[in-house]
């Protein structure tokens, strides 16, 4: 959330470039900025912050019935409680998973990983639940798609290696919280779309448009500063403001 | 897990213990079946549908009695979960529809569409479940959509209106409900009855209001607002389009709805400019001065990244186009199309196309045609073309399911939008061709024949499925799966094929080079493949796995594709050279001929329209088709109960008849039946009370009604209200004469609008008016048929004799007479005797009525008298068609000419036509006189001179002399020859004939004129 506090007027070496002067002339209206921030908070699921922000900025609260559910689902996924998450998603709208086998499979695989993790957490535990789950839930679906099958096979190898502190990077990936975060973000987007909203915050689109237009301008040889930092990069001076930076925002 | 969990949940559902336990079971069931088709099937086979219906229904009943509930108590939660399960089952595909319908699941869902009673989440879930049911049903193999009839009942439509009418708080749920309701309408509203129902329930007004609310945020005169462009716009626009499609009246109701009128009103006093709305789209005009405020809003860099427009200033500065704007409504829609993307853009373009069509018929202060064409060809057509290109270039597998669904929709729909946009408009057709769309469309067509590779493999089952043991207690109907239907991919391929064909048909509609390009790009074999009907049996019997297997055999085409393929074939066959080369090379005749007897009526009609072009004299396929037995089939279809088939078949016969050897022609007339032909020529019995309708008081009464529609004069009847593409070239000459107000009269005041709406409504919905119109159209074909029947290369008069023998001679002339005289001028027509048997003499005297007094004065002082009241005459096309019959009759033997001249009444009624405002009427008149004074050989000299004298006595000498000063060259030349000949005959020098002049006349009649009407006129007419 640090992005919303970034100061636009951070001193940069390009301050006196004619383009920069033009930029300075543009005064973004406060309602516009507030709208963007609010939009981000709502769509990425920060109800409390949104509430606070509403009070601070004196905005009308946009009622969004799904926000609580989305927060709960995200927490459940982050926690590894996939069963609850799937339950809640299906309560909102079963077609989210019904029509998106890939997302469904990703969730079920997370659930399998958790099962494997728990039944291998101590030696001598029964691994049957994990195997049962894999054969009843994932195996049928894996047969429909090559990618699913590979993913399942990879996941099942965890059963062999766990517990271990020295996993292959490929396998270690599966246990990292990042995987959960990725899936949670996809779920959030899918829910928003199913509810007839935009899948991502508008600022993401703006950010991409910004990168795209800079690229276009450079290709066309327009007179713009050599470096145009957005202030989102870890160290603004070094970053050249293209490509990779997108991940910071969009993650 | 898996299968094993199913029975307990189902057990609980069929034998509920407590609501809570039921709820748990239901949720478990739902989690189990989501994304798992086999388990869905399993659940249905174990009777879950009945249990679901029970849950949905009992609670509805309870609700009625029960107190108001806030939140979601257990009962509502049960209903909610049951609704979700129904939706999830429906996602399983068309096979689930029959059991769900049999289990009576739909009625309680529809009951739940009450915003006052149903909690909002439940309402949204219900709408979504219905949406899924409709989607699944659409993929079924059955012709009829099983769900739609349930939706279009008065109470359901009223409930949909209620949902749309909900006030809009900042709640997403309400927006979502509206959006879902709109989407449901857009998907299902296909028939006029549906449209009327929704209109009557105020749905269209509500949709218009919501659209206007969204548009208001863009109003440049109101300053900037912070409302985000609504994501629901696409659904709203689609729903509006679904309701206004194919109905000018519905479109008018939309355009004149109060919300649209107040937002998009023309600013007062600034005629010709759209006021501030103009700023939303680039201005397409003459030179832009430097101080132009628009250059600021439209900087050279392009503030719209996706703006694909070529620089247009250069070309626009050269051609001095008037400084005219689009109407504000069009302007905003163009703006919305350019701003939006995906579905929103497509929906805006679609609505624009429909509104444009309306504007062509009922001008509403629209700009002139060039301005409109300019806006559409620079701002709309390239947008759609680009959309087609991009949607088809997209790698579908890389997309999210939601995006993929949208992209599939774009691929299917965008060519349809293009087809609608360019229909009947050469400029826009050229714009599309210039944007290089043809290659893309042919590519889409080609791709639709590729075997489907992305087929989904079936889920793996842990255990081999045991043979299902049926529980005898389970209701059979609601637990038996239906047919699997077609795979989604296959349905998509069919839709792509259909829309690409329709787009090609629309673009190749009028220009030969375009048709050739389509052929050069390899379109022909693909089109031929699209003409092969499917073997319905193959789909029915096959199991799901076979359908989905990638090695799927060619299944042929569903009816919609067949119709589209016929349309494109018809467009292409208008080119004689294509007809003579590519189409015959690819053997188009047989597949089209086979479709003539396809079980589906619409396919028959479409095939008939192609045959019409294929049986022309110039067509090399003619013999093949005749030998295949087309004559008998067409004659049989002429007796069909369906007007379009009757009409099309008669048209085809008319073409077929020309150039047929005499014995075949006789056979044709016999098969068709003289009695039938008479009936058609006299007016359709269906629309008239009396068998000899034209002159009956009843019919006369109807005429009066029609004439009272002041702004709706006769010539408009020539034009079909909708789907007029068929006749496009037949009416080419007419628009210039259309007396509709093109501009200036903007219908703004309430009474004006009401009058206008009433006028449009009666034009469209008045049964007697439309049957009148149909009647005229088919009469025209019948007259043309008679004309072609008697047309001969060598004027032996053989066919004329045959015709006059088959018809009662006096009846035949009276029939022609009735098409040539003003309608009111036949008072004795109430006397059936004079109608059917009266000879020329008796009728002539009885016509001595107001009109004929004018006629006599006309004879005395040719042309100086006021014009006859043309509005009282039969439709102009009937006059023309009848006149050409007379021209050909006069081209027979000398005895025929004498016979004609002896028809005094007829001749007297022809005379005023010499002054008709349309050259199309005057030209055959000139020919007619010309032919009458033709001298066959020396033995014919005396009779010819007698004829000339009779003509002079009738006043034709004066009349034709006036024609020899006609503004039209053709008419003038023809009349001059006639005057010359008359002069010679009457001056006594009958032996002198100018060989040169006569040769010209002969040729003109034999091939030039006969050919002109017989071929030129109707040849390109399909």
Claim to verify: residue A142 and residue A207 sit in the same structural domain = no
Q: What is chain B's mean pLDDT, rounded? A: 74
Contact state of A197 with B172 under an 8 Å Cβ cutoff: yes
Chain A residue numbers touching B232 (CB-CB < 8 A): 196
* pLDDT for residue B586 is more than 70: yes
Out of A60, A102, A195, whose CB is closest to B176? A195
Partner B contacted by A145 (CB < 8 A): yes
Give the C-alpha separation, B181 to B188, whole Å.
11
Partner A contacted by B190 (CB < 8 A): no
Contact state of B38 with A140 under an 8 Å Cβ cutoff: yes
- Half-sphere CA count of B161, side-chain side, radius 13 A: 17
Whether residue B500 contacts residue B419, with contact meaning beta carbons closer than 8 Å, is answered with: no
Residue ending a domain, choose from A194, A215, A236: A194
Find, in chain A, the residue whose alpha carbon is nearest to that of B226.
Answer: A32
Out of A90, A94, A196, whose CB is closest to B176? A196
Claim to verify: residue A85 and residue A162 sit in the same structural domain = yes
Give the C-alpha separation, B611 to B142, whole Å.
28
Claim to verify: residue A143 and residue A172 sit in the same structural domain = yes
Q: φ and ψ at B557, to 5 degrees? A: -125, 145
Contact state of B84 with A102 under an 8 Å Cβ cutoff: no
* pLDDT for residue B521 is more than 60: yes
Residues 150-189 of A with CB under 8 A from B: none
Claim to verify: residue A141 and residue A182 sit in the same structural domain = yes
Chain B residue numbers touching A140 (CB-CB < 8 A): 2, 36, 38, 459-462
Residue A177 belongs to what domain range? Answer: 67-194
Q: How much is the pLDDT for B299?
A: 41
Contact state of B171 with A63 under an 8 Å Cβ cutoff: yes
Chain B residue numbers touching A66 (CB-CB < 8 A): 172
Chain B residue numbers touching A98 (CB-CB < 8 A): 34-35, 88, 91
Contact state of B457 with A65 under an 8 Å Cβ cutoff: no
Give the C-alpha separation, A107 to A122, whole Å.
24
What distance, in Å, lies between the first and last C-alpha atoms of chain A?
12
- How far does A34 lie from chain B, in Å, by closest CA? 10
Find, in chain A, the residue whose alpha carbon is nearest to that of B78.
Answer: A91
Higher pLDDT, B44 or B268: B44
Residues B226, A36, B401, B177, CA torsion sign: negative
Claim to verify: residue A139 and residue A167 sit in the same structural domain = yes
Contact state of B170 with A61 under an 8 Å Cβ cutoff: yes
Residues B8, B13, B14, B20, CA torsion sign: positive
* pLDDT for residue B1000 is more than 60: no
Contact state of B34 with A213 under an 8 Å Cβ cutoff: no
Give the C-alpha separation, A53 to A37, whole Å.
9
Higher pLDDT, B558 or B833: B558
Contact state of A137 with B457 under an 8 Å Cβ cutoff: no
Claim to verify: residue A47 and residue A36 sit in the same structural domain = yes
Find, in chain A, the residue whose alpha carbon is nearest to that of B37.
Answer: A98
Chain A residue numbers touching B36 (CB-CB < 8 A): 140-141
Contact state of B458 with A87 under an 8 Å Cβ cutoff: no
Claim to verify: residue A18 and residue A131 sit in the same structural domain = no
Claim to verify: residue A139 and residue A201 sit in the same structural domain = no
Strand partners, B557: B533
DSSP state of B580: I
- Which of A40, A90, A103 would best serve as a mutation to test chain B binding (most B beta carbons within 10 A)? A90
Higher pLDDT, B988 or B389: B389
Q: How much is the pLDDT for B546?
A: 39
Partner B contacted by A86 (CB < 8 A): yes
Q: Picking from B49-58, B286-295, B583-592, which range would have the lowest pLDDT averaged per residue?
A: B286-295
Q: Picking from B113-122, B232-241, B258-267, B535-544, which range would have the lowest pLDDT averaged per residue?
A: B535-544
Out of A60, A95, A195, whose CB is closest to B170? A60
Out of A61, A142, A196, whose CB is closest to B231? A196
Partner A contacted by B802 (CB < 8 A): no
Claim to verify: residue A9 and residue A76 sit in the same structural domain = no
- pTM, two decimal places: 0.77
* pLDDT for residue B1007 is more than 50: no
CB pairs under 8 A between A and B: 119
For the question of an ipTM over 0.90, the answer is no
Give the C-alpha separation, B851 to B843, whole Å.
14
Cβ atoms within 10 Å, residue B573: 24
Find, in chain B, the residue whose alpha carbon is nearest to that of A220.
Answer: B301
- CA B497 from chain centre, in angstroms, equals 19
Contact state of B180 with A196 under an 8 Å Cβ cutoff: yes
Partner B contacted by A146 (CB < 8 A): no
- Smallest CA-to-CA distance from B490 within B522, B454, B514 is with B454
What dihedral angle (degrees, nearest 10) is formed by the CA atoms of B574, B734, B972, B793? Answer: 30
Claim to verify: residue A113 and residue A216 sit in the same structural domain = no
Partner A contacted by B465 (CB < 8 A): no
Give the C-alpha separation, B112 to B187, whole Å.
20
According to the per-residue pLDDT averaged within each range, which of A51-65, B591-605, B756-770 is highest? B591-605
Q: How much is the pLDDT for B457?
A: 62
- How far does A41 lie from chain B, in Å, by closest CA? 15
pLDDT band at B470 (very low <50, low <70, confident <90, very high): low
Out of B34, B121, B175, whose CB is closest to A97? B34
Q: In chain A, how many domains are there?
A: 2
Contact state of B459 with A141 under an 8 Å Cβ cutoff: yes
Chain B residue numbers touching A61 (CB-CB < 8 A): 170
Partner A contacted by B125 (CB < 8 A): yes
Contact state of A132 with B1 under an 8 Å Cβ cutoff: yes
Claim to verify: residue A215 and residue A183 sit in the same structural domain = no
Q: How much is the pLDDT for B417?
A: 93
Partner A contacted by B227 (CB < 8 A): no
Q: How far is CA B301 from CA A216, B292, B306, in A?
A: 11, 16, 12
- Smallest CA-to-CA distance from B579 within B656, B498, B524 is with B524
Contact state of A90 with B31 under an 8 Å Cβ cutoff: yes
Whether residue B932 contacts residue B900, with contact meaning beta carbons closer than 8 Å, is answered with: yes
- Smallest CA-to-CA distance from B731 within B742, B717, B743 is with B717
Give the C-alpha separation, B352 to A37, whole Å.
35
Q: What is the pLDDT along chain A (251 residues), one digit of tens a residue?
A: 444 444 444 445 545 778 888 888 888 778 778 888 888 888 888 878 888 888 887 776 666 667 888 888 998 998 888 888 998 898 888 888 888 888 998 999 889 988 888 887 777 778 888 888 888 888 888 888 888 888 888 888 888 777 777 777 778 788 888 888 889 988 988 888 887 666 677 788 888 888 888 888 888 888 878 777 776 665 544 444 443 333 334 33
* pLDDT for residue B306 is more than 60: no
Chain B residue numbers touching A132 (CB-CB < 8 A): 1
- How far does A165 lie from chain B, in Å, by closest CA? 32
Claim to verify: residue A76 and residue A154 sit in the same structural domain = yes
Residue ending a domain, choose from A177, A194, A211: A194
Partner A contacted by B171 (CB < 8 A): yes
- Smallest CA-to-CA distance from A241 within A223, A221, A225 is with A225
B192-198's contacts with Cβ under 8 Å and 24+ in sequence apart are B192/B246, B192/B247, B193/B152, B194/B148, B194/B152, B195/B242, B195/B243, B195/B244, B195/B245, B195/B246, B195/B247, B195/B250, B197/B152, B197/B153, B197/B154, B197/B157, B198/B157, B198/B160, B198/B161, B198/B243
pLDDT band at B553 (very low <50, low <70, confident <90, very high): very low
Q: By CB neighbour count within 10 A (0-12 exposed, 13-18 middle, 19+ buried), where does B642 fall?
A: middle
Quick: pLDDT tens for B655-699.
888 878 888 888 888 888 888 888 888 875 544 333 333 333 333
pLDDT band at B498 (very low <50, low <70, confident <90, very high): very high
Contact state of B87 with A101 under an 8 Å Cβ cutoff: no
- Smallest CA-to-CA distance from B862 within B874, B854, B872 is with B854
Q: Picking from B79-83, B299-303, B612-616, B634-638, which range would have the lowest pLDDT averaged per residue?
A: B299-303
Residues 399-418 of B with CB under 8 A from A: 400-402, 405
């Amino acid at each position: 959330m640090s992005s919303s506090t970034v100061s636009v007027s951070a001193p940069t070496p390009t301050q006196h470039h004619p383009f920069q002067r033009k930029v300075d002339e543009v005064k973004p209206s406060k309602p516009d900025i507030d709208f963007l921030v609010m939009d981000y908070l709502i769509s990425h699921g920060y109800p409390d912050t949104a509430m606070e922000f509403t009070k601070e900025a004196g905005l009308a609260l946009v009622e969004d019935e799904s926000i609580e559910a989305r927060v709960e689902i995200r927490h459940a996924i982050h926690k590894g409680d996939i069963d609850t998450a799937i339950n809640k998603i299906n309560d909102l709208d079963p077609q989210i998973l019904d029509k998106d086998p890939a997302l469904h499979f990703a969730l079920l695989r997370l659930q399998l990983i958790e099962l494997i993790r728990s039944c291998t957490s101590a030696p001598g535990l029964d691994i049957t639940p994990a195997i049962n789950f894999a054969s009843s839930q994932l195996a049928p679906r894996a047969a429909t798609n090559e990618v699913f099958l590979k993913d399942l096979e990879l996941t099942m190898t965890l059963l062999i290696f766990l517990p271990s502190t020295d996993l292959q990077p490929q396998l270690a990936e599966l246990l990292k919280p990042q995987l959960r975060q990725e899936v949670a973000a996809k779920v959030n987007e899918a829910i928003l779309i199913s509810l007839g909203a935009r899948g991502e915050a508008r600022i993401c689109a703006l950010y991409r448009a910004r990168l795209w237009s800079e690229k276009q301008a450079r290709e066309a040889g327009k007179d713009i500063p050599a470096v145009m930092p957005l202030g989102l990069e870890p160290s603004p001076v070094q970053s050249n403001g293209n490509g990779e930076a997108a991940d910071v925002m969009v993650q | 897990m898996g299968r094993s969990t199913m029975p307990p949940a189902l057990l609980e559902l069929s034998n509920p213990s407590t609501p809570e336990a039921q709820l748990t079971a239901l949720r478990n069931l739902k989690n189990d079946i989501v994304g798992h088709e086999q388990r869905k099937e399993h659940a249905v086979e174990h009777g879950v549908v009945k249990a679901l219906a029970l849950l949905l229904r009992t609670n509805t009943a309870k609700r009625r009695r029960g107190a108001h509930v806030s939140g979601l108590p257990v009962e509502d939660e049960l209903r909610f979960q049951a609704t979700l399960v129904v939706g999830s089952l429906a996602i399983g595909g068309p096979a689930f529809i029959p059991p769900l319908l049999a289990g009576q699941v739909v009625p309680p869902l529809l009951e739940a569409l009450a915003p006052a009673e149903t909690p909002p989440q439940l309402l949204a879930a219900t709408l979504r479940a219905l949406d899924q049911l409709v989607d699944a049903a659409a993929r079924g193999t059955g012709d009829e959509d099983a769900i739609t009839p349930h939706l279009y009942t008065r109470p359901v439509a009223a409930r949909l209106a209620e949902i749309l009418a909900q006030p809009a708080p900042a709640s997403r749920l309400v927006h979502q409900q509206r959006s879902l309701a709109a989407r449901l309408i857009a998907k299902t509203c296909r028939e006029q009855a549906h449209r009327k129902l929704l209109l009557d329930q105020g749905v269209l007004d509500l949709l218009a209001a919501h659209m206007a609310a969204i548009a208001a945020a863009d109003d440049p005169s109101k300053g900037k607002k912070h409302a985000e462009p609504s994501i629901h716009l696409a659904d709203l626009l689609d729903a509006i389009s679904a309701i206004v499609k194919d109905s000018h009246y519905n479109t008018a109701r939309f355009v004149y709805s109060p919300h649209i009128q107040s937002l998009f009103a023309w600013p007062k006093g600034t005629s010709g400019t759209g006021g501030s709305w103009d700023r939303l789209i680039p201005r397409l005009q003459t030179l832009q001065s430097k101080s132009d405020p628009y250059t600021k809003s439209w900087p050279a860099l392009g503030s719209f990244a996706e703006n694909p427009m070529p620089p247009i200033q250069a070309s626009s500065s050269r051609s001095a186009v008037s400084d005219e704007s689009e109407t504000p409504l069009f302007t905003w829609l163009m703006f919305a199309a350019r701003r939006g993307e995906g579905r929103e853009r497509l929906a805006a373009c679609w609505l624009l196309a429909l509104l444009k069509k309306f504007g062509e018929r009922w001008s509403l202060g629209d700009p002139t045609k060039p301005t409109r064409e300019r806006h559409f060809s620079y701002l709309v057509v390239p947008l759609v073309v680009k959309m087609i290109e991009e949607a088809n270039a997209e790698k579908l597998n890389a997309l999210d399911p939601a995006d993929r669904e949208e992209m599939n929709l774009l691929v299917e729909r965008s060519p349809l939008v293009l087809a609608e946009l360019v229909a009947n408009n050469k400029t826009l057709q050229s714009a599309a061709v210039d944007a290089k769309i043809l290659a893309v469309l042919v590519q889409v067509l080609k791709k639709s024949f590729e075997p489907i590779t992305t087929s989904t493999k079936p889920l793996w089952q842990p255990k081999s499925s045991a043979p299902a043991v049926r529980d005898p207690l389970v209701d059979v109907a609601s637990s038996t799966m239906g047919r699997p239907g077609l795979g989604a991919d296959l349905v998509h391929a069919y839709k792509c094929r259909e829309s690409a064909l329709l787009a090609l048909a629309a673009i190749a509609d009028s220009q030969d080079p375009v048709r050739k390009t389509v052929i050069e790009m390899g379109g022909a074999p693909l089109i031929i493949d699209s003409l092969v009907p499917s073997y319905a049996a193959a789909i029915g019997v096959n199991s799901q796995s076979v359908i989905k297997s990638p090695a799927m055999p060619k299944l042929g085409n569903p009816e919609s594709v067949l119709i589209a393929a016929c349309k494109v074939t018809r467009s292409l066959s208008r080119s004689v050279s294509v007809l003579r080369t590519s189409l015959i090379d690819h053997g188009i005749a047989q597949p089209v001929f086979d479709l003539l007897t396809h079980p589906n009526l619409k396919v028959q009609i479409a095939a008939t329209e192609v045959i019409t072009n294929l049986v022309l004299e110039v067509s090399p396929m003619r013999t093949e088709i005749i030998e295949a037995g087309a004559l008998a089939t067409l004659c049989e279809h002429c007796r069909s109960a369906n007007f379009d088939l009757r009409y099309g078949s008669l048209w085809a016969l008319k073409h077929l008849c020309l150039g047929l050897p005499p014995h075949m022609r006789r056979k044709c007339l016999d098969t068709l039946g003289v009695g039938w032909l008479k009936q058609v020529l006299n007016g359709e019995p269906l629309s008239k009370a009396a068998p000899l309708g034209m002159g009956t008081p009843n019919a006369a009464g109807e005429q009066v009604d029609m004439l009272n529609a002041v702004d709706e004069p006769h010539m408009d009847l020539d034009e079909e209200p909708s789907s007029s593409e068929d006749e496009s070239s037949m009416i080419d000459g007419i628009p210039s004469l259309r007396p509709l107000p093109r501009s200036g009269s903007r219908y703004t005041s309430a009474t004006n609008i009401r009058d206008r709406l009433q006028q449009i409504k009666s034009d469209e919905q008045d049964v007697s008016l439309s049957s009148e119109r149909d009647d005229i159209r088919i009469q025209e074909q019948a007259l043309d048929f008679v004309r072609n029947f008697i047309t001969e290369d060598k004027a032996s008069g053989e066919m004329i004799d045959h015709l006059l023998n088959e018809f009662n001679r006096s009846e035949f002339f009276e029939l022609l007479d009735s098409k040539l005289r003003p309608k009111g001028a036949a008072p004795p027509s109430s006397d059936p005797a004079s109608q059917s048997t009266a000879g020329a003499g008796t009728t002539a005297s009885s016509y001595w009525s107001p009109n004929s007094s004018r006629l006599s004065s006309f004879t005395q002082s040719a042309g100086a008298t006021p014009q006859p009241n043309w509005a009282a005459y039969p439709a102009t096309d009937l006059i023309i068609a009848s006149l050409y019959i007379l021209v050909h009759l006069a081209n027979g033997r000398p005895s025929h000419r004498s016979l004609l001249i002896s028809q005094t009444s007829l001749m007297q009624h022809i005379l005023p036509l010499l002054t008709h405002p349309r050259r199309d009427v005057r030209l055959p008149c000139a020919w007619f006189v010309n032919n009458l004074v033709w001298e066959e050989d020396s033995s014919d000299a005396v009779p010819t001179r007698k004829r000339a004298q009779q003509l002079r006595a009738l006043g034709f000498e004066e009349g034709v002399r006036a024609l020899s000063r006609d503004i039209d060259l053709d008419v003038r030349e023809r009349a001059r020859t006639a005057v010359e000949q008359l002069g010679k005959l009457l001056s006594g020098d009958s032996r002198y004939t100018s060989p040169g002049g006569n040769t010209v006349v002969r040729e003109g009649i034999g091939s030039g004129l006969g050919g002109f009407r017989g071929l030129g006129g109707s040849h390109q007419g399909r």
